[in-house]
Structures are given as C-alpha cells and as structure tokens.
Structure 1
Amino acid sequence: MAGSCPCGGASYLECCEPVLDGVRVPTTAEELMRSRYTAYAVHHADHIFRTWHPRTRPERQPVDPEVGWLGLRIVRVEGGGPDDDTGVVEFVARNSGPLGRGELHEVSRFAKRAGRWFYVDGDPA
C-alpha cells in the first residue's frame, strides 16, 4: 500500500505498516490505537489479535471486510506515554458499510504488559 496512512499519518510505509508487520512496537497508547485503526482499515486481523489484551480478547476477530474505514480523529489522550502503564484514547472513526455511513465514537483503555501496549476495552462515548 502506498500513500498516506489510514490513521492520518503522512506515509503508510513509515507510519503504521512497520507496526502491523511487527517490525516496530508502538511506544504509546495513541500509536497503538492508530495502528489498530489502520489494521481494521486494511483488514489485518493478526495485528488486532496480537494487540488485544489476553484478558479481554474475543475468540473471533471482529474485522468485517464489508466495513470501510474512512477517517480517524483523536479526541483526547490521557496517559499512555512511554513511561506509563495505562492510557486512555478517545477517538471518532468514520465508516461505511452495508447499512450506510456511520461513526464509532469510543473511549478506549490500554495497558502495558511486559513492556508492550495492549488494547484492553472501550466504552461508547
């Protein structure tokens, strides 16, 4: 994939692709959030599975190939820095699918485990 990154970064090759391919590990909760959004956009279910906290991870991957992701806006970030153990990222993700266009507005919680960030869970905002 060439061009801008689905998460809003300048270049997919430099932004999220190395994270999805396991070449680089996200250093912040926001960076993990952006890579997970990109994984949904490019249907990279392995990244979603790998970055979901084992305590809350579902058995099936929730990547729906019929849903197109159209844009991501980060609303706020609390904690989640390189020296933190937890973080919160509130975001709005625009999408389109069989039922039309919509938005996912979520407050996501992240935790660091063995030095790596994981998505724990989220609440609709």
Structure 2
Amino acid sequence: MPATPPTPPTPPTRCPCLSGETYAACCGPLHAGTATAATAEQLMRSRYSAFAVGDAAYLRATWHPSTRPADLDLDPEVRWSRLDVLATSGGGPFDRAGTVEFRAHHRHPTGSLHEVSRFTREGGRWLYVDGVTG
C-alpha cells in the first residue's frame, strides 16, 4: 500500500507539539528539511508532530539506522491530540546523548502513550534511537 502523503497544518495553525508556536514557525521547517533540531526535546516534539500530520518519511529520516524499522506504516485512525513533556536529561546543543520522557495523547482510539525516548547526536544531527514505554 503506498504511503499517504503528510498533511501538514497550514499557517497560522498551532503546531501539533503544543510549543505555543505556529506549525510554520516550529516543526514545519524541520519536516520540510530546511532546519534541524537543536536539542533532543525539539527532535522529539517534531517527531510527535510528524505522527500527528502523517509524515512517515520524516520519522524514518530522524530514526537512527541501527534501530530504524524496514517499513513504517502509520495508522490513519489514530488522532494525536496532546503532548506532555514530563522530563529531559541531556540532549542539549552540546550533548551527544539525551533522553526525553513524554506522554502523547490520542482521541481515536482514546488513550495515551508514555515513553522515555533515547536520542543520540551524530554528524551534528539528533536521531531517535529507541524508547521504553510504560
């Protein structure tokens, strides 16, 4: 089945990551490839937004090659509605690794995902390595 093209919000729509910025000023440039995440938290937020807008290509591009799945099919039925960043460790502009704990809520089906994600910075780019859910 061919991948459904992402449907990014149009300005001035609020960014799905709930940073308080518009999509065009926040995660949009990262998804478009015109900017890169400066921190592990920014990458995590942009990955959440990619799930929210259905951008599987961005998710694959920001996934570390050692743990990246061969295929990534997003469930179009899941409607992501809120992101709560609970804690961060490392992951700053000069760090090589970091973790971000978050809870991502979805409306259909109703529920949430709680994860502590690990990130690494290689070649000046932050990449998602893996996460522990619970």
Same fold (TM over 0.5): yes
- Give a deviation string over 1:59-113, Cα, whole Å, max 9, x none: 111421111100000000000000000000000000133xx30000000000011
RMSD: 0.9
1:32-111 equivalences under 5 Å are 32-97=43-108, 100-111=109-120
Letter of the 1:4 partner, please give it. R
Alpha-carbon distance between aligned partners in 1 of 2:125 and 2:82, rounded to the nearest angstrom? 26
- Where does the alignment leave 5 or more consecutive residues of structure 2 unmatched? 1-9
2:31 pairs with one of 10, 20, 43: 20
Q: How many residues are treated as equivalent by the alignment?
A: 123
Alpha-carbon distance between aligned partners in 2 of 1:8 and 1:96, rounded to the nearest angstrom? 16
TM-score of the aligned structures, taking structure 2 as reference length:
0.89
Which residue does the alignment assign to 2:3?
none
Alpha-carbon distance between aligned partners in 2 of 1:96 and 1:52, rounded to the nearest angstrom? 25
Q: Which contiguous aligned blocks of 4+ residues in structure 1 show a shift greater than 6 angstroms?
A: none
TM-score of the aligned structures, taking structure 1 as reference length:
0.95
- Where does the alignment leave 5 or more consecutive residues of structure 1 unmatched? none
Alpha-carbon distance between aligned partners in 2 of 1:28 and 1:83, rounded to the nearest angstrom? 9
Alpha-carbon distance between aligned partners in 2 of 1:65 and 1:58, rounded to the nearest angstrom? 18
Alpha-carbon distance between aligned partners in 1 of 2:75 and 2:50, rounded to the nearest angstrom? 11
Secondary structure of residue in 2 paired with 1:13: helix
Alpha-carbon distance between aligned partners in 1 of 2:115 and 2:52, rounded to the nearest angstrom? 16
